[in-house]
A and B are shown apart, each in its own frame.
Chain A
């Protein structure tokens, strides 16, 4: 019988090992975002797109060329493409079925999700930093390619606002990923749903209040310019609730409850 092979000193309990820290998990999630071909290419494309925007704003004559202007322009490719990285951060675990390994190594799923949210936030901040560096380059080169002077003016408030918008945008991607758990579905709906929503509420006059309070693209627009008032923040906040907080909450619950197979 099997128990006959037992020796008394064999342990019947498990040795205690410290849990992986949140910092460890965040670093792992960040690594996951660039250690695959898809992730790496997406980052390269974002970098190239930022440079393309810099080139455009330098060579097109009637585009304003202050540092603030460059900083605003370079946010555009980042705000469009970086959320895809946020989506993939979550959905690739399902499409590639790595969730099985991820959640057996860290069975407390919320810890993994917190790490993913923090990693996405860091990526957004990194994106803004890259945009800022590209804007420095653009501003330095401005007198070379045009008649405009170098204008370094930039308000701290604007930087803060842009950071908030970019973080929220990437987290919207994460939220869609969490809710849908499928890369193609999440990417398509992430781009289509808000656009359809914007068109709908903009066309119908009776829906103006919906647009002003729940349409994220409308409410985030003022944040790219200096000086947002309390109502602006409130409107931005309510639309973030609809497009980021709500899908993230539902997706979070879905992931906690779903069976991973």
Chain B
């Protein structure tokens, strides 16, 4: 539903986003990951027409965002929860949006209910809101037009753990009913639980993308452990499997679990543990992909 092709955005001579391509199919949640300043926000601003790409295209449902007649009814956008008038009440912010969208006034109450701002918080000025409440209000604005697509930049910022759990449920539900979700984060664990696919950006370039299992398969190898470490190492060497030292007394074998198990069985060595290496595999991957080699440039619009 969202298609970004060869998107490049330069400020002056500085590339903020370079040749970024990815797509988000309906019914899925795409986690857009990268450190701060990696180009996530720039990509999203270009997607929703707030920034003009230097080259490349970004479309929603095959159309440029600017060509959508009533954009808010198709795409719900939350790029910055702080970008709200502090002097308006939460209800007023939604009322203004509902008038533009042309949706029924009852939707405002429904949206407030849905994000947990109904009642007293709705009548408070946004200036008195916590960041978490602003995120909820921003999400309510995005959901107000009953869109098919959600584009959310760091929506978990300022939410407490309970709020993050709630938001995951909401996004999962949205995608399961056929919606398309693109959400960004600089923290992997925020999106890991809800995302179907991940796009990792660093220094303005995509450094990895695919489903979670695909990304994990590319790393790690197999962790093996036995009462006799030397025997185990010998057995794997004989089978031609490369090894390296794992945590504690374990070994990490450079092969699938099946091949490792077969090699060990053939040598008659006892095993106490055999599994894919590293439960924190994605975390390591994320850090390795975004940390080194690509210089992170802070680009301000």
Contact = CB atoms under 8 A, between A and B. Distances in A.
Contact of B196 (A2, A16, A20, A99): A2
Closest 7 CB pairs of A and B: A14-B61, A36-B87, A17-B73, A97-B83, A19-B69, A17-B70, A2-B196
B106 interface: no
A3 interface: yes
B68 A14 contact: yes
Nearest to B30: A2
28 contacts: A1-B197, A1-B211, A11-B26, A11-B148, A14-B68, A14-B74, A15-B73, A16-B69, A17-B74, A18-B70, A19-B69, A24-B100, A31-B96, A35-B88, A37-B87, A38-B87, A97-B80, A97-B83, A100-B80, A101-B83, A101-B141, A104-B49, A105-B100, A106-B71, A106-B100, A260-B45, A261-B45, A261-B301
B69 A18 contact: yes
Contacts of A1: 197, 210-211, 213-214
Nearest to B24: A2
Interface of A: 1-3, 5-7, 10-20, 24-25, 27-28, 31-32, 35-38, 92, 96-101, 103-108, 257, 259-261
A2 B26 contact: no
Contacts, number: 141
Interface of B: 1, 25-28, 30, 41, 45, 48-52, 60-63, 65-66, 68-75, 77, 79-80, 82-88, 92, 96-97, 99-102, 141, 145, 148-149, 178, 196-197, 210-211, 213-214, 301
B84 A98 contact: yes
Nearest to A257: B52
A10 B30 CA distance: 17
Contact of A260 (B50, B68, B72, B87): B50
Contacts of A5: 27-28, 196
Contacts of B30: 2
B100 A36 contact: no
B25 A6 contact: yes
Contacts of A259: 45, 50-52, 301
Contacts of A106: 71, 100
Contacts of A37: 87
Nearest to B212: A2
B216 to A, nearest CB: 13
B83 A98 contact: yes
A13 B180 CA distance: 11
B45 A105 contact: no
A100 B87 contact: no
Given A108-B66, A260-B50, A24 B102 contact: yes
Contacts of A261: 41, 45, 50-51, 80, 301
Contacts of B60: 14
Contacts of B50: 100, 103-104, 259-261
B28 A36 contact: no
A20 B25 contact: no
Contact of A15 (B41, B45, B148): B148
B70 A104 contact: no
Contact of A7 (B27, B49, B52, B92): B27
Given A28-B100, A259-B301, A105 B71 contact: yes
Contacts of A28: 96, 99-100
Given A31-B99, A101-B84, A10 B49 contact: no
A53 to B, nearest CB: 28
Given A5-B28, A98-B83, A98-B84, A12 B61 contact: yes
Nearest to B195: A2
A105 B101 contact: yes
Given A100-B79, A101-B141, A35 B100 contact: no
B198 to A, nearest CB: 10
A105 B69 CA distance: 10
Contacts of A7: 27, 178
Contacts of B102: 17-18, 20, 24
A20 B71 CA distance: 10
Given A18-B69, A259-B51, A36 B88 contact: yes
A15 B79 contact: no
A248 to B, nearest CB: 22
Contacts of B197: 1-2
Contacts of B68: 14, 107
A216 B229 CA distance: 91
Contacts of A100: 50, 79-80, 83
A35 B92 contact: yes
Contact of B99 (A27, A92, A101, A107): A27
A226 B248 CA distance: 97
Contacts of B80: 97, 100, 261
Given A6-B25, A36-B88, A105-B101, A13 B71 contact: no
Nearest to B70: A17
A103 B79 CA distance: 12
A51 B154 CA distance: 50
Given A14-B1, A36-B87, A260-B45, 7 more contacts: A2-B30, A5-B196, A24-B102, A98-B83, A101-B141, A103-B49, A104-B72
